[in-house]
Amino acid sequence: MTTQRPRGIGMTSARTRERLLNRLRKSGIEDARVLEAIRQVPRHMFVEEALASRAYEDIALPIGHGQTISQPYIVALMTQTLTAGKHLHRVLEIGTGCGYQTAVLANLVDDVCTVERVTTLFRQTRNRLFDLKYRNIKFLHGDGLKGWPEHAPYDGILATAAPEEVPRSLLEQIKTGGRMVIPIGGRALQKLVLIEKTLEGFEQREIESVHFVPLVSGKV
Ligand code: SAH
């Protein structure tokens, strides 16, 4: 008789996850709260079963619809850059995807608002995060280029798809004193950029080279 092993056995072991955290620490992720938020998210629940055994490797993986779940290092770096050691009240995420970054943020901030343009991903991920007992996330099926003005302004905005240039509507939705972390550029050359909104205006700084899927306008 063959018994089916429940999904995730082995991959969920504390040791496997600890190995990922050690790797992130070695790569320069120092914020203990960010590392803890990552430890708490079962990444194997965000990818197809066939890929679950690779979920705690520090790599991006396909999630269907030509999209990817970001590499844990990039999720950690973006989260650390966005929060900067502070407790944030409300954050907007552009590009929900499979919801992994959303879940990491939801472990750290009071409220996460997240926008996804692809209907299937929006639905699947809303259900997944509900099943995982997250209750501080608001989901919108819409065009993230427009942000989500109803809940603005945000302490932080984080985009996980890359526009060619910084969208003006997103700048308008950052609280003064708040920040945005966003990949900017075409397919060949993208930079992860930190934008801070001060009383005087916007300050922009490049963090590092990255490779994200493009931010496409309109919803499907
Ligand atoms: N944060 C995700 C990464 C998803 S990949 C994760 O951890 O899995 C980027 C996502 O951005 C894709 O799901 C893509 O459909 C979405 N996207 C691209 N352009 C968009 C837009 N204009 N508005 C909202 N979502 C968009």
Among residues 13, 27, 53, 70, the one annotated as catalytic is: 70
Class of 9-210 in CATH:
alpha beta
Calculate how far, in angstroms, residue 105's C-alpha sits from the geometric centre of ligand 1. 15
Ligand 1 atom nearest to CA at 65? 15
Which pLDDT band holds residue 12 (cuts at 50, 70, 90)?
low
Supply φ then ψ for residue 204, to 5 degrees. Answer: -125, 140
- C-alpha 33, offset from chain centre: 16
CB of 68 closer than 6 A to ligand 1?
yes
Tens-place pLDDT, residues 98-138: 999 999 999 999 999 999 999 999 999 999 999 999 999 99
Calculate how far, in angstroms, residue 54's C-alpha sits from the geometric centre of ligand 1. 21
- What residues contact 139, with CB distance under 8 A and at least 6 apart? 96, 114, 116, 122, 125, 126
| Domain spans, the chain | 9-210
Beta strand 174-185 pairing with 111-116: unpaired
Tens-place pLDDT, residues 90-101: 999 999 999 999
Tens-place pLDDT, residues 61-107: 998 888 889 999 999 999 999 999 999 999 999 999 999 999 999 99
Beta strand 90-94 pairing with 154-159: parallel
Examine the pLDDT at 33 and tell me if it is beyond 90.
Answer: yes
Mean pLDDT of the 166-170 span: 97
Q: Does the annotation mark 209 as catalytic?
A: no
- Residue pair 108/33 in contact (Cβ under 8 Å)? The answer is yes
Ligand 1 atom nearest to CA at 68? 5
**Mutation probe of ligand 1 site: the residue of 118, 157, 219 with most atoms within 8 A of C-beta:** 118
CB of 116 closer than 6 A to ligand 1?
yes
Burial 66-80 (b: 16+ CB within 10 A, else e): ebbbbbbbbbbbbbb
Examine the pLDDT at 4 and tell me if it is beyond 50.
Answer: no
What pLDDT does 137 receive? 98
Calculate how far, in angstroms, residue 118's C-alpha sits from the geometric centre of ligand 1. 8
Number of Cα atoms under 13 Å in the Cβ half of residue 23: 17
